[in-house]
Amino acid sequence: MRRDEGCAAFGNVFTEVAENSAHGTVVARLPPGGGGVGGPGLQLCLEGADAAWFYLDGSSVRLNASNGRSLDREELESPVLMVALICAEDGSAPVEYRVIVQVLNENDNRPHFRGDPILTHNVSELVAVHSVVFSTQAEDADGDTLMYVIDGASPDARFFRIDLPNSGRVVLARPLDFESRQSLEVVVTAVEMNTKERFNASRRVRVRVQDGDDQYPQFLPCAPPPAPHLCLSPTYTANITQGELPGAPLRFSPASIHAEDGDAELRAPITYSLLPGEGGGND
């Protein structure tokens, strides 16, 4: 027998197959000089932990994806499958070769965000503009690079931006004001960058604006303000009869002297004091 016939005709095989390929897909073709399976005095078989993925059909190695079992690259322990090709001839010791198959990735998974579909973040109204206020990350089982964008149709998209598209870090674009808005909503979308399908996933984020200490105390009742969130303190007046010491607290108009913290959620305690003014002293 010549050296190019029988088991000597075979060798290690390096090949590849796309994930999700159909059952019976040809993975590799063996040298015809080997005589094929069932050749005179020649027996071939596949062995090893990954051998169940393949079967021999004449001089071809085919994919075994029967019984609803698909070749899913993401579910394999390794994207490279290795099988022993055992060749035996009458009167000779078996010879072992390797069939090494690389499973090629397909874009068969969409990106997704873990956890609840709606994410909630608490952000103080005192956070500086251009600061990162929250981060959100999506996953792609195919390992595709993701780009994050703010959905411009979001109700409050103008308050946020993303400076580094691959980071998922969302930056505050304009000041927050608890006194005017206590809740904001924005949609962040993760998009595949390097695929033709450009699969994407979105997450809705609710930002609860927390009150910060940015308002002065206000004497009540307020006069009609000239601008929103401003309070014109009233002028308190009381009548005193000269030479008499009132035996009860003075009655002021338009109401008793009272002030409240301008930050409605904080309601910090208020202390009062009298400052000497014109005409003050020990007279």
The token pair that represents 235 in the structure block: 């002028």
* Residue 283: inside a domain: no
Statement: residue 73 has pLDDT above 80: yes
Half-sphere exposure of 78 (CA within 13 A, CB side): 8
Statement: residue 161 has pLDDT above 80: yes
Predicted local confidence at residue 230, as pLDDT: 61
Strand 169-172's sheet: what is its strand order? 132-135, 169-172, 160-161
**Arithmetic mean of pLDDT over the chain:** 84
Closest C-alpha among 109, 103, 20 to residue 68? 20
Instruction: Count Cβ atoms below 10 Å from residue 279 Cβ, excluding itself.
Output: 6
Predicted local confidence at residue 159, as pLDDT: 97
Give the lowest-confidence range in 41-45, 54-58, 270-274: 270-274
Same-domain check for residues 59 and 134:
no
DSSP 3-state of 74: helix
Give the lowest-confidence range in 12-21, 58-67, 168-177: 58-67
* Residue 73: inside a domain: yes
The token pair that represents 193 in the structure block: 């960058």
Q: Calculate the alpha carbon distances from 126 to 10, 99, 174, 207, 267 in Å.
A: 74, 64, 11, 14, 17
Same-domain check for residues 187 and 219:
no
Statement: residue 1 has pLDDT above 70: no
Same-domain check for residues 15 and 95:
yes
Whether the CB-CB separation of 133 and 206 falls below 8 Å is answered with no
When divided into structural domains, the chain yields a total of 3
Same-domain check for residues 117 and 203:
yes
State how far the Cα of 41 lies from the Cα of 38, in Å rounded to an integer.
Answer: 8
The domain of 262 spans 215-241+250-273
What is the residue type of 254?
Answer: P
Statement: residue 280 has pLDDT above 70: no
* Residue 279: inside a domain: no
Cis peptide before 221 (omega within 30 of 0): yes
Same-domain check for residues 94 and 15:
yes
Closest C-alpha among 50, 61, 1 to residue 25? 61
Q: Which of 104, 137, 162 is the last residue of a domain?
A: 104
Q: Residue with structure tokens 């005709």? A: 9
Q: What is the mean pLDDT of residues 86-110?
A: 91
**Structure confidence by residue, pLDDT tens digits, 229-261:** 566 777 778 777 776 777 777 777 777 777 676
Half-sphere exposure of 253 (CA within 13 A, CB side): 4
Same-domain check for residues 117 and 206:
yes
